[in-house]
Amino acid sequence: MTEAQLPPRLAKARQALSAGSHRCVLCDASGKLHSSGEHGIRPPLRWLRENPTLLSGAAVADRVIGLAAAQLFVYGGVAALWAETVSSPALAFLREQGVFVAYRDLVPNILAKDGTALCPMERRALALQEPAKALECFSTIIQ
């Protein structure tokens, strides 16, 4: 998918992601950019804690989106996502939830840092049935 085919706010977030040292960039409903150098589920968790409505209707560009992050973004009401790498469970979930998704690389699962097993957050996310439970579950793990 070319840059021109992306929704405008998603293209703006993607450009900011590739131009900087950010790991995750959010373009809110008003077009304002918010960025994070944190990895994993920390950006959506922080944004949901600091401003629960910030994600509503937003477009997000992220380096890696696994199922845990996807559930948090859906819980927050994100409209569109672009990922350098997305897991198959995350992609299926996002599409099922009606979120526009574009990506560079699709992987079967997000792995732990040592590459030998599923990422702990991905493993926990697979057991969750509702995005609302994701915020509760992951907030207790990551302070």
Report H helices in the chain: 8-19, 42-50, 67-76, 88-96, 120-127, 131-141
pLDDT tops 90 at residue 131 = no
User: What CATH number should be reported for the domain holding residue 14?
Assistant: 3.40.140.30
pLDDT tops 90 at residue 97 = yes
Which pLDDT value is given to residue 4?
Answer: 66
| Of 47, 48, 76, 57, residue with least CA distance to 8 | 57
Percent of the chain scored above 90 by pLDDT? 77
What is the tally of structural domains in the chain?
1
Domain interval for residue 20:
3-141
Which pLDDT value is given to residue 51?
Answer: 95
